[in-house]
Chain A
């Protein structure tokens, strides 16, 4: 069973339905024990990084997510959930879960912020979706972006004023800056890939 972490953020119903459409059963839960028991875990997120981290910590969910990530359970962070996988967050000068090495920064103001709408993701060599250099289209809504220390963690790049990582993959930990549950066929393809990717038993998350 896949656990979708409920900490009061966002449209969880759509993520659940997207997983179901991809053939995977999922349960929405705010219980750290259920997160620890899950075969796979989705960390969604919409809203403010500081408030979200406080809530994850107060509820014990942050510890549960860290534990499962370190022991190799497949984890997918979506939108703010992807950003929280990293360390320092410019929004609210907060520290995220620190499961991936890097920082989260504000998009440059040369274009309208938030970045909202459909945009290309240019696949990298480690993308599960297709060959390097191919494009996929996803629906984005965000003002901040992740800046990983290791470019090898980036599985797809998107251009919006700058080039930022739209998919990151580091062993068992995946992140999508867009909303795969709102990104039509390409989004469902990512959900299906993640939900069926073989679990890595040697968790090597930092």
Chain B
């Protein structure tokens, strides 16, 4: 009665909140930060607009800011009943546990995954694969058009090839990839579709597209042809250009299945 691939799974729209000093900020290629508001208020607003998940990135990741972040996650989880994915400076299983206890549902790791890949499998074993997201910051630049993995907020090249690294983190137990194009991040000129396609083709776990969304067509492009499973964006939502609801309606109009709370029952 059902085909083997029949699915009602929706495409997720995920606003990303870069947090430092208790405020949401957003820059271009990780530079020139603009203030975008209070993280808990912004998360509550996105939730009310129909966001499918919220990502918090601690962009400072000092000890002091970590405690701020735990407070932000706790206060958000008290009033926002959708999945919260949190990362930035997570280095140990204890860091993960502290954020999960505060109300996070998933943790993403980036630099620490490169420095100590066993952290991926350790986290997956303890908290489940669904909990372990690996964030990859990729920069195009190799002569053959390939993408190199960068760490430490995009400052440090690792020599790792992005597609190969994506395969490795899947093998080590990552449940999802958060794939950011460093070249595109904050530019508003669209996601790196070649990067998305290359990584999506290489792994069998969900890929979240990040970096470059400047209009709603960019979101559509990331899903087809980009093959992403979810789209993450910041600036287009933070600065009032579009609401989450408008974005979802736009995707639906383009034939992409989304969750819209005004759905007829």
Contacts and interface: CB of A to CB of B under 8 A. Distances in A.
Interface stretch (B20-28, B35-43, B77-85, B209-217): B77-85
Contact of B5 (A17, A111, A135, A179): A111
B100 A11 contact: yes
A135 to B, nearest CB: 7
Nearest to A46: B128
A141 B130 contact: yes
A159 to B, nearest CB: 5
Interface in A141-183: 141-142, 158-163, 179, 181-183
B12 interface: yes
B183 interface: no
A76 to B, nearest CB: 16
A134 B52 contact: no
A135 B10 CA distance: 13
B261 A161 contact: no
Given A130-B265, A182-B82, A185-B261, A114 B129 contact: yes
A13 interface: yes
B85 to A, nearest CB: 11
Interface residues of A, number: 43
Interface of A is mostly: mixed
Interface stretch (A62-70, A117-125, A196-204): A117-125
State the majority secondary structure of interface residues on B.
loop
A18 B81 contact: yes
B103 interface: yes
Interface in A1-23: 11, 13-14, 17-18, 21
B81 A181 contact: yes
A184 B103 contact: no
B206 A118 contact: no
A115 interface: yes
Nearest to B131: A46
B81 A14 contact: yes
Given A46-B128, A112-B204, A161-B7, A13 B103 contact: yes
A30 interface: no
The 8 closest A-B pairs by CB, nearest first: A120-B8, A110-B4, A118-B10, A134-B265, A141-B130, A118-B259, A137-B259, A119-B8
7 contacts: A17-B103, A116-B175, A119-B7, A137-B10, A162-B2, A184-B50, A188-B81
Interface of A: 11, 13-14, 17-18, 21, 46-48, 108, 110-112, 114-120, 130-131, 134-137, 139, 141-142, 158-163, 179, 181-185, 187-188
Interface of B: 1-2, 4-10, 12, 47, 50, 52, 77-79, 81-83, 100-105, 127-131, 175-176, 204-206, 229-230, 259, 261, 263, 265
